[in-house]
Structure 1
């Protein structure tokens, strides 16, 4: 699989992720993860499985995190496993007339399921500000 094809798959996955998150649709968001996926939000803890991952994203949405974007820095892989390293940004809930902005670096590994869908198997990020 060529790098252009990999980047196209990653961009499509990121578009679906951002649309689900920014619309607050955590069911659609968690469906983009493998059932046994792991996730770490840079807090030293690891979540395992869709239920734990969905609870984290529900909390983010309920606390006003929105306008999430991803900018791919690097993408690679093969026919079965692909990865990305990207910059992420999001806004928080408005407080005192200010809309906070967050960002950092994220890395995710996607595996192709038996039905051909690319699902996040592992997702880790940090916050730079």
Structure 2
């Protein structure tokens, strides 16, 4: 290292894929039980959800209401599949493919899906909670 240049490489290695896969499994489980309170609990108090509707969903109450609306619209069988992950001991990010079943305009079941990006904040107990969630 040259004098005056700081080494910014993290000194600790984290297995982000495993912990994000676990966070995704818990989130999918809450979604698939149509438990909007449990879904909202996966987010920090000042979190943002940015859906393809261009709404900005902020905080626990709005997040809970947003997902309750999806559940009343018949969305089920959600699955997140990790594509990429990174971060450090405080902030972790991931991209994922998502799929779910919903209702078409005629009431029939139809599969939907897209891409999602997530930014997690590590909590004092070591768990991850979502700070930012956007999807298309």
Matching residue within 81, 90, 99 for 2:100: 90
Equivalent residue pairs, number: 125
Any idea what the Cα deviations from partners look like across 1:31-63, whole Å, max 9, x if unmatched?
110011011112222111011011000000111
Matching residue within 57, 67, 73 for 2:77: 67
Unaligned runs of 5+ residues in structure 2 are 1-11
Is 1:99 aligned to residue 109 of structure 2? Answer: yes
Q: CA deviation at 1:95?
A: 7.0
Is 1:2 aligned to residue 13 of structure 2? Answer: yes
Q: Report what 2:5 is aligned to.
A: none
Bigger radius of gyration among the two: 2
Q: Report what 1:49 is aligned to.
A: 59
**Cα distance in 2 between the residues matched to 1:123 and 1:12:** 16
| SS of alignment partner, residue 100 of structure 1 | strand
Unaligned runs of 5+ residues in structure 1 are none
- Displaced runs of 4+ in structure 1, greater than 6 A? none
| SS of alignment partner, residue 35 of structure 1 | strand
* TM-score, structure 2 normalization: 0.85
